[in-house]
Structure 1
Amino acid sequence: MSQNDSSFDSHGASADHPFGSASRPGVNRKPEGTIGVIGTRTPSGTPPIIPPRPVQALLPEPRDRRTTGGAHAARSGARGRLGCGSGRRGGKIALLLVLSFIALVYVGGIAAFSLVFYPNTSIAGADVSLLPEDGAATRIDSMANRYSLTVEGIGFKWSYAPKHGSDLIDANAAAKRALAGNEPYLWPVRLWRACTGAQADAGTSTDRSLLSPSFDEDSFSSDLKQAIDTFNEHRSGAFDTQSAFDPTSGAFSAERARGNEKLSESTVERLAKEALSSLRERVSLETNAYEPLKGGVSDGDLQRACDAANALIGTSVTFKLAGTEAGALDGETLSKWITFDDALSPALDNDKVSSWAHELADTMNTVGSERTYTRPDGKVITVSDGTYGWKVDEKKLVEIVQDAVHTKRSGEIDVPTTSEGVTYAAHGNPDWGAYADVDISEQRARYFDASGKLLWETGIVTGKPNGEDDTPTGIYKVNKKLRNITLVSGKIDPNTGKPVYESPVQYWIAFVDGSIGFHDASWQSASVYSDPGAYRWAGSHGCINTPLDKVIELYDMIQVGDAVIVHN
């Protein structure tokens, strides 16, 4: 088929096309017998050749086209309107389907979250996420049965455990009440909050309504109050000197002053009950659990008061007797003498300084005090009274202490004394060196050197035990040694008007003033010195009658200042 066998109009439409125009001028008609349908064959069997469509065929037709063109345009517009209406109906159907699905999901969510809890939900500390009411109750009850509470911190500790979990939390009621507050109609918002971490617990830490009606709150509060009262027993709740001083650092500190604060019963009880309601097992107390110090003292006030007090306690001295430490004065002792007025201004109490000096003297004085020692032969002896030992010059000591405090002195101070021993030890212990031991019950006298070695021993006769001539017991000091003197009684015989006795002696070793001592006694027979009972009938007026040869030996050994211990 030749190119001329195919007759198309300028728009590529054949004369037989339904939308063709027979009246349009300039349109070439196809010869009869030809078919202008694409893809069909002519009688000759050759496929038609489709010429390219003119450019004009692709442009909109002018409005002034004649009837054929107008009819074509009308039919084309009708087809376009038919396609647009069909699209709108499809869009409405799709929207209806989407809305129906959303409604179905929403209703389903309402049904679901009317029966189960949202994710990340807890009741009384138990995770009940996506659990139904009975499952949540079981989990809450399980936690309650294992529950115990410990409240501790800042030096305080107290524990509580219910006998049964149901005594603390009513699990069924808690689960039911919590699920009733699920707000299922708002489940999209609640679910979003739950999944983003914004969901609140179904039972918050302050929801005490979760506690069981059988919970004995009065007993719980009473036990906790008793523990708090015990803790606060030695805390005054006010600033004072003793609580503010830190012996470790030797200074006042605001932190230590706060150690006198009392625990707040209401605060601790509130925290404990909040922990109960959420089944939290531990409450950690911090400093905000304390009540403020009386008067509302601020940290700044405390620090200023402590700084001022520290400026008054710079003294640090050691008092010595016989080279041995007998007492000390340091910041800890001085802190007890600091007083604070209402404005927390510190001052040193001088009366307390003086009292302490007198007390120190009393602790160092041994004259007349009871002392116990073991004689080298094993006999244990306890004796008191006498004149031997240490005696502090209290007046001078007070002056020294006051001066040391005001000048903030440091170092060692020798204690001023009016009487001295050889060594210094605590009260009740020997403080002598060499000594003579006079045993009235044995009627024997011994002399030991400072090391305890026996140097001398003899039989003796002591004073007659008649209540007037008894030899006085106690620890004395040799005060004089004399030769060839006459001992004269201090008592006058009413019948003669003369001294009761006047006795010449060759050796005299006095230890009780000038009236009692060791001496020879020429009027005694030698036999009395070997008879332990002879003193009862041949006793002296109180002195120690000694054989002449023995008193000569002792006179050469013993020194003024040596101790003489007389005991039964």
Structure 2
Amino acid sequence: MGGYAYAEHYADVAVPGTTVAGTDVAGMSRDEIVKAIEAKADAATVTITGDAEATASLTDLGTTINAEATADAAMSRGADVIDRFKALLGGADIEVVTASDDAVLEDYASGLVPEDQAKAKSASVVLNSDVNTFEVSASSEGVSVDTTDLAQAAARAASTLSPTTVDLAYVNTAPAVSDADAQAVADTANQWIAQDVTITNADGTEFYSADTATKASWVVVTENLDAAPTLSIDSEQVAEWVSTQAATANIEPVIGQRNVNSSGQVVATSVEAVAGQTVNNAETITTAITESLSSGEAYSGTFEMTTGEEQWEEREIADGAEDLAYQAAEGEKWIDINLSAKTVTSYEGATVVRGPVTIVDGAAATPTVTGTYHVYLQYETQTMRGQNADGTDYETENVPWISYFYEGYALHGAPWWSSWGFSASHGCLNMPVDEAKWIYDWAEIGTTVVSHY
């Protein structure tokens, strides 16, 4: 019964004879052990004497005590019933679980050197962006603190969970990285960026080359505490550059446009279709460039393309419209301006609904424009103003039935003419008033207007 009571009592607490760094923790729960270790860890400072005077915590010195892991080790002595009875035969001092960070220790030790004392400076490698060359920032000797004794003192305080003292002296220190060591790294970096990096488009007509400044931006120099800097290529920067070049090499698709008759036969192509092409090996090229430069070798590669399908938009036109100046759809309104014949004819599809009407077009010095346009503005009457061919201004009041189709060019009534079929206007199509009114009433905003010889 006594043995059972003993085993049951120590099921959740540390067994007899258990100590951590000399502190008896028998009978404590895991949480109590953790708190006890943390309390002692806070008091486990390192007093520094000698050339420098300070009191540092373990955290200052980059040493961390893992109270949780240490408590688990203490509790493991009574993990099962047999272990609890074995514990009666002898004690055990549990080692404190710690970790250290040399960089933090080095930084703290550097801070012990007064500002008026020169500190040792390692040579470093920097990019001179003005000339796109990697250069050496020179090293220098100085005063420092030997971190060996300081590290040992921190380890001692952590393992004993008690304060300790260390005597430190300033020492003259050579830089960890010499100018020669850094220069070797700089030379390698410069050799990397001197290599050509060129990508060719799929048909060999375009070349994309990285300039020196771009390649220099890809090189990453990583400084080390006690060794020469190391070099690497930033693949993300390379990928960004490759992506930019690929976007230039890509061919945007163009949707073709063609007219077909009622039988589905193509009678005219207004826009040729272009199949889109997209670079499909940018990632492979990025990896290859990174590997080549990291080996000090030039790179030459070619974009590979994925080609899409041609796309077309087809527009069915009216039967008979294929031979007209404009291939209109069945029933589509449009206006034909034949400058050679000096006529205006109105169509719906391929069917003439008005005309041809003889008109007066632009004079030789102020010709009527040619091309395909659309009615965009109409006035029943308007005062029209502009310039003559000699630069003088003109003004005509009460011009009737105006249908503008391009800038200041319009079809309109011209009551001042009594005959037709010659060239004399400022560029507009002068028409008999009743014909201009018919156009005004019949045409809609957006109606196609084709002017041609």
Normalising by the residue count of structure 1, what TM-score does the alignment of the two structures yield?
A: 0.26
**Is the radius of gyration larger for structure 1 or structure 2?**
1
TM-score, scaled to structure 2: 0.31
Return the structure number with greater relative CO, CA threshold 8 A, min gap 6: 2
